[in-house]
Amino acid sequence: MIHLYTVTSIRQTVEPYFPGTAAARYADSRPAVYDHPCRARAEVVADFIAGRPTPGDAVTVEVLGEGTTVVVAGRSESRGWDDHDWCTYATFRAPDGAWREVLVAVDGQHPGNTAAVDASPEVFAAYEAHLEAERARVRAEEEARRAVERAELELRERAAVDRGRFVVVAKGRKVPVGIVGRVFYTTEGTFGDRAGVATSTRTEQRMSARGRMVDAAVDVVWVAASNLDVLLEDLPASPAEVELLYRCAAAVCEHARARQLAAQRAALAAADAAGEYAPPLDTNAPVVDAFTALWRWAVACPERLAVMLAYRPEELPRLDADTPRTLEEVCEAVETAYDVAVKLARRAAEWDGGAEARTALRVDVEGCLGVVYAPPVKARRARKAKAAA
């Protein structure tokens, strides 16, 4: 059982405090006079426990954990720098069934407060079960945290720029953003790691530094490794898919980034609704997992590649001003038209990145959709000719 006493002063002022004056060198000051003298807390609590009156003080007592107090223990707690207090705590079960810990006393500053273990064996058994559940919860949280750390480490390893990986130029000034290619060489430079990227599959026979003939890449750019994002860890085994990769990877990467940001926004909104913490949006998060999944999905039906080549994520056809279509919805509409799907797959394999090719793709896709929202065009007023002077 736990007894916590609270002492509140209710003394009334008979004569207020009168400050001294400079003329009397402050010797004429008068202290305040109260109707009852000030007494120590220990005396007041002792009188209250003995049933004696406590003039000038109101005493209340809170009784907790009657029959459910399971632990009374003290521990040292820091009060700043090299100062500590010895605090006594008691654990009990509240009427709602929750186990709670309360502060009983601090270094004798709360005389009268007492706590004693008085729980029954059944209550002790319930408390042990609660402790075991708490230990299991802590172990589960620790395992979940380690799993997240392992997943992040594995993601960083998959996103590391290394030889043989297919990458995209994500930022920088010297090499245009959006160029894709295979890393064939990495080296340490004065200002960080650099990578040689083959932007096509063209090769030619050259003499290496070791005096051997090798197939060297023809179209090459040199980029700072920090400006690259890994899209695939290994090139596909099929040469036809490799050609598709060089042609379409940049467009697929844009859609993968958009999907990744949408997933982050959804997770952030869900966390806000649940009142939980969620990390802020990370626009520089590795895109390798999102791109790999989207690429595998698109290669299964090449007409899906044509849709991503025709539209950027924010340009996908809409039903109306307030109803956008998803990439899956547009691709599903295209796949239902067999002749159009075959034509789009062929055009994706022959993609050259021109504006005319994109327009032709959009015409075929919108022919399968039926309803495509077009924003209204505001007519411009004709300017009146200035009157002649």
* pLDDT, tens digit, 9 for 90 and up, residues 146-164: 999 999 999 999 999 999 9
Q: What share of the chain is helix, strand, coil (3-state, %, to 5)?
A: 40, 25, 35
pLDDT at 389: 47
pLDDT at 153: 94
Interatomic CA distance for residues 110 and 74, integer angstroms: 14
- Spatial CB neighbours of 56, under 8 Å, sequence gap ≥ 6: 9, 10, 11, 34, 35, 36, 37, 38, 39
pLDDT at 215: 83
**Could you give the angle at the alpha carbon of 323 between the alpha carbons of 317 and 329, nearest 5°?**
55
- Tell me: pLDDT of 289 over 60: yes
- Tell me: pLDDT of 131 over 80: yes
Confidence at 386, pLDDT banded by 50, 70, 90: low
- Tell me: pLDDT of 354 over 80: yes
DSSP class per residue in 277-328: --PPP-TTS--HHHHHHHHHHHHTSHHHHHHHHH--GGGS-EEETTEEPPHH
Q: Name the percent of the chain lying above pLDDT 90.
A: 65
- Per domain, the residue ranges of the chain are 2-119
Q: Name the percent of the chain lying above pLDDT 70.
A: 97
CB 340 within 8 A of CB 310: no
* pLDDT, tens digit, 9 for 90 and up, residues 328-348: 999 999 999 899 999 999 999
pLDDT at 166: 97
* pLDDT, tens digit, 9 for 90 and up, residues 193-232: 999 999 999 988 888 778 888 888 889 999 999 999 999 9
* pLDDT, tens digit, 9 for 90 and up, residues 291-301: 999 999 999 99
Q: Is the pTM of this model over 0.75?
A: no
Mean pLDDT of 181-201: 91
Query: Cα 85 to the chain's mean position, in Å?
Result: 38
DSSP run (H or E) holding 359: helix 355-369
Mean pLDDT of 163-185: 94
Interatomic CA distance for residues 310 and 319, integer angstroms: 17
How large is the angle between the packed helices 327-335 and 302-310, nearest 10 degrees?
130
pLDDT at 216: 86
The single-letter code of the amino acid at 164 is: G
pLDDT at 208: 79
CB 226 within 8 A of CB 233: no
Average pLDDT, the chain: 90
- Tell me: pLDDT of 383 over 80: no
Interatomic CA distance for residues 43 and 147, integer angstroms: 58
- Tell me: pLDDT of 168 over 90: yes
pLDDT at 203: 87
* pLDDT, tens digit, 9 for 90 and up, residues 51-105: 999 999 999 999 999 999 999 999 998 887 788 889 999 999 999 999 999 999 9
